[in-house]
Structure 1
Amino acid sequence: MPQTPLSIPLDRTSPVPLYFQVAQELERRIMTGEIPAGTRLENEVVLAGRLGLSRPTLRQAIEYLVDRGMLVRKRGVGTQVVRPRVRRPVELSSLYDDLDRVGEQPRTRVLSLAVAAAPDPVAARMELSPGTEVYVIERLRLARDEPLALMRNHVPLGLVDLDEERLSASGLYQLLRGAGVTLKIASQSIGARNATAAEARALDEPRGAPLLTMDRVVYDDVGRVVEVGSHVYRASRYSFELTLTG
């Protein structure tokens, strides 16, 4: 897409740094689709002059958005808007809820739903006897009709009635909460690995593409394990976001 002249109002009396005012406004326009993916920004010198900014100030704003995965610098092309990554806070929430909250239009394709004996390692994590039957759920989660994650979940029987129609229409945590389950705490590990051929096909990625992984065990308010999940996410479209305090 061609370069687009930008006009951004700046409050020079505000304590908010000018670079951050520019970055916030560009981020807003990208997230709302006002500046669509593929748009090329003007030359830094031209844009800085139009906005009345120094080139280092403008560059700081652009670098901020590059770091957030919203802009990319391409040799011979310039600075270009890319489809922003889904940035998910690491907290006890479902991917469906997180996507819905930021307007990413989540959709679920149920690949399989069965009642089967939990594999021994899963049964141990669920604090169940070997061979205990549980729900085994395989789903593909999409954001704006684009594949984002493959999710495998094990849920004890007797907590909630699950079927493909309900799982397609809602997030798993919504269904659990609707059945009166109070999600309290989770143990979670995050990692990375390369996609298998099957995962790459499902997620529309090349074979061996980097994937983010998340394994989670969720407990309710009386200490029962209510879910064991193992998910993989497209690293090109997804990131985890953590807030650290000292």
Structure 2
Amino acid sequence: MIAIGASGWFAFNNVSTKIDDLSSTLTTTEGERDTAIQAQADAEDAQKAAEDRASAAESNAARLGDQIGTLKQAVTRQTQRADEHLANLNQATADLVESRQISERWRQFEMEYGTRDSIRQRLATLEGVTNERDNFIAENSILLGRIEKLSVELSRYTGTSVKVSLPPNLAGKVTAVDSQYDFVVLDVGEEQGVREHGEVLVGRGAGSEAQLVGRLRILSVEKSRSIANIMPDYKNGDIQAGDYVFSERN
């Protein structure tokens, strides 16, 4: 019995020791578990904090990028303004130099030809003299025309030949031809400077194909047309409507 009791006591004692050990191990494990859970929670908090910092850093980086872009645009605008101001300054400097040169040239001009007022007076005098000259030329032309006309009238009675000058730039066309009586109608007259007994040449074609067809003597003159006789001694072909006429000195 003693042996059985001792054996039972030892068995109970071993079980109790194991229970104590298991309880201690359980307590330790629970502590380690709680520590691990806390560590995991701390790690998750640290991860979230890191993610928040990363997100904040990205936001700051984006904001800084926008600010840098805005600053670059501002720098570009300022550079453009500076370039414009520099161009305006260069233009103003060039204008100033040119103005000084013009002023100097004008000063030298006044030294040689007089002041502006004296030049105006001279120009006014010159204008008056020019008008007088133009009036004289016009009157002289009228008188010469009358003299030529009287000379033509006189030649009809004396039988003499009179040379009547026509404008050197006279140019016109034949509008009608009477081959029976050898006269033609021209589209130029008194307004273009045509005068009776004046002579014009008749041509046809242009360039290498141009040819002289004949010569005409003006018989009568109206305001914008005239009638001329065909001069047989100078006839190189049949004159046709559409042929052009021109003065001998044209």
TM-score category, normalised to shorter length: under 0.3
1 or 2, which has the higher strand percentage?
1
Give the TM-score normalised by the residue count of structure 2. 0.23
1 or 2, which has the higher helix percentage?
2
